[in-house]
Amino acid sequence: MDDLVAILRDRVATLEERVRQLEDALTPPWAVPVEWRLTSAEARVFAHLMTREMATKESIMAALYSDRADDQIEPKIVDVFVCKIRKKLRPFGIEIETIWGKGYALPNRHQFQTKAAA
C-alpha cells in the first residue's frame, strides 16, 4: 500500500509540474506598462497575443481560465476582453486585428515586445 501511495504522489507531482509548464507556455510573463492600465486578465490576453502570429478564442480562453476547467465559460467573453483591450491600447498605437473565423492577432507584435518587456 505504501508503494502505491508513493507512486501516486510522484505521478501527481509530475502532472502538477507539467500543468505549470503548460500555463507558462500559454502566458509568458510579459511586463505590461502600467500606463496601459490593463487588468491582470487583460494583461494575460495581451501577453498571449504577443507570443503567437494568431491566437484562437480557444487558446485565449485557456490562457484566461486554465484554472477553472470545470466552469462553463462562454467563448463570447474573449470578444469582450479584446474590445476593452483595444480601447485601452488605441492611444498607444497598438491595434488588435480580427482574423474572421479564426481569432485575433497583433500585426506589429515584434515592435511591442521590447516595449512590453521593459
To 10 degrees, what angle do helices 40-50 and 57-65 make?
Answer: 130
50 within 8 A of 116, measured Cβ to Cβ = yes
Q: pTM of the prediction? A: 0.70
Query: pLDDT by residue (tens digit) across 69-110?
Result: 666 778 889 999 999 999 999 999 999 999 999 999 999 877
Q: Could you give the domains of the chain?
A: 2-117 (1.10.10.10)
- For the cut 60, the answer to whether the pLDDT of residue 117 exceeds it is no
pLDDT category at 15 given cuts 50, 70, 90 is confident
H/E stretch holding 64 reads helix 57-65
Q: Are strands 55-56 and 103-105 parallel, antiparallel or unpaired?
A: antiparallel
H/E stretch holding 63 reads helix 57-65
Query: pLDDT by residue (tens digit) across 36-59?
Result: 999 988 988 998 898 889 999 988
